[in-house]
Each structure stands twice: as C-alpha cells, then as structure tokens.
Amino acid sequence: MLTGSGSRLPSSGSSRGTTKCVDARRPRQPKVKALTCNTRVIATVQHSFLSHCPCPRPRPVQTAAGLRLAPCGRPWCSAGCRRRWARRLSACLRRSFAESDPPTHFARVTCFGPLSGSDLSGTYKRFLRRLSYREISFFWVREWSVNGQEHLHLLLRVQGRLTTEEFGALWQKSLPTLEGVHGTHYCRPLENAVRAARYIVKDTRKGGVLAPRERSRRLYGYSKRFLGRSLQELWAAVRADWFTRKGQG
C-alpha cells in the first residue's frame, strides 16, 4: 500500500531476509548494450524498440533525442528499407537535375518469354549499348510488377528528337531470336523531371515491390555522362542540405 508520493514498493524478499525497493515514480529505462563484432558496433535494445523497426538488421543511429534504430536501406530487405533506399536515390537524382541538364524522355521496356536472368541481363546490355551508340544518356532501374513480371524503367537525355517508333526499333533489335520471346516498349517526352526522379525509384507514398536478392544482377545503373557528379558526391551534398535545414528548423 502506498503511504505517500515518495513511497517505495517492496519486492519479494531475498534468502538473506533483505528487501529490495523499486521507486514507483521512475519507470525503468530500456537497457542499451553495445557489442563489438567484426569491427562493427551492434546495438541490442529491448523488443519494444525492435517492434518499431521492421528491418531484420536495423542500424543504431545516434540522434539528438537518443539512440534510434534505422532501417538498413537495402531495397530487398523490407518495405521500410526500400523506402529509405528510394528516398536517398531520388534525392541524388533531383540534386543532379538541378545542377546539370535534366532528362528529356521517360521510357519502359519489357521482355516476355522463357528467358533466364542472365539472358535477360544480356538483352538489357545490348539495348543500352545501342542507346550509347546514338549518344543517348540514360539512367535505368529494374522493377517488378505485382505478378512478378520484370521490366526496365529509363530516364533518357536526348540531343534532338526521339520518337516512340525509333526507341521501339532499338529495343526490338536487342531481343533474342527465340521462340516465344517478344517485347513491349513505351517512350514519351518528359514534362516534370522531379516527379520522374521520384517515380523511377518509387519514392512515392505507395512505394514499390521489393526487389529479389540477386547478387549477380544490378538493380540500377546509368551512363557515364548522365549525372553531373558521382553518386557519392551528390549524396554528400544532399546530406549537408538536410542537416542544414534541420539546424535552421
């Protein structure tokens, strides 16, 4: 029974007859323990903290409010990780478009038929090589529909005119001559580069489908002259802007 605001609740007695007291006014704080493994610091927190981060391998991040678990940012890990990956990549793209020439076209190519992953990657390589021969700069992202159909989204920078028919002819020439294999395409001039940068990596409210974990196949890529700077330099500039805005807020 409580006798006052500063009273204590006795716990079960020990074998020596002593009584442990717990301050009823102070809720217990979650214990945070740092473990060193393979030169990496791994934070272990209570399960209540882990429930707020669906990533199976979250990273501990020190913030002004204390230690926080952040998603690892791998696009094949979880929905939160994919959103984090898309947010970073779209921010770098938008930064590049603001500093240099934005893309002029948005395109999509899809290949149907009994093709393995390596055969499909070879088809994409032949197609991207044809774009480079025509001096078309590009940024591409592999994506999957809800039913698992893989397709390629592209942002193109074209010096001059590019019609849907011309783009489709390059894609059809890149397809393998196998029975049951055919492809579709889509290409149109771009009106809003900022929206395209968000859409191509699915930095949207709905998000995108988790990518399968394939170590031998890249998820995105770009030609040499598409970005004004390297992704590392763009990401450093984006982070600096974010921290500046947080400091001013």
Summarize pLDDT for 127-154 with one digit per residue, the tens.
999 999 999 999 999 998 888 889 999 9
pTM: 0.73
**The residue type at 10:** P
Longest Cα separation, the chain: 90
Q: What is the CA radius of gyration of the chain?
A: 26
pLDDT given at position 47: 34
Above 90 in pLDDT, residue 39?
no
pLDDT band at 8 (very low <50, low <70, confident <90, very high): very low
b/e sequence 146-166, b meaning 16+ C-beta within 10 Å: eeeebbbbbbbbbeeebeeee
Above 90 in pLDDT, residue 240?
no
DSSP three-state, residue 74: coil
Domain boundaries, the chain: 101-231
Average pLDDT, stretch 171-190? 92
Residue 73 near residue 88, CB atoms below 8 Å: yes
Residue 113 near residue 180, CB atoms below 8 Å: yes
pLDDT given at position 179: 86
Give phi and psi for 228, each to the nearest 5. Answer: -70, -30
Query: Roughly how many angstroms between the first and final C-alpha of the chain, as a whole number?
Result: 47
- Please give the DSSP secondary-structure letter assigned to residue 209: P
pLDDT given at position 244: 79
Mean pLDDT of the chain: 79
Q: Give the E-state strand segments of the chain in sequence order.
A: 8-10, 21-23, 33-37, 40-44, 59-63, 66-70, 105-112, 137-144, 150-157, 182-189, 220-222
Q: Which two tokens stand for residue 236?
A: 């450093």
More confident residue, 203 or 24: 203
* Cα–Cα distance for residue pair 216/148, rounded to 1 Å: 18
Q: Under CATH, to which class is 101-231 assigned?
A: alpha beta
Above 90 in pLDDT, residue 106?
yes
Length of the chain: 249
DSSP three-state, residue 171: helix
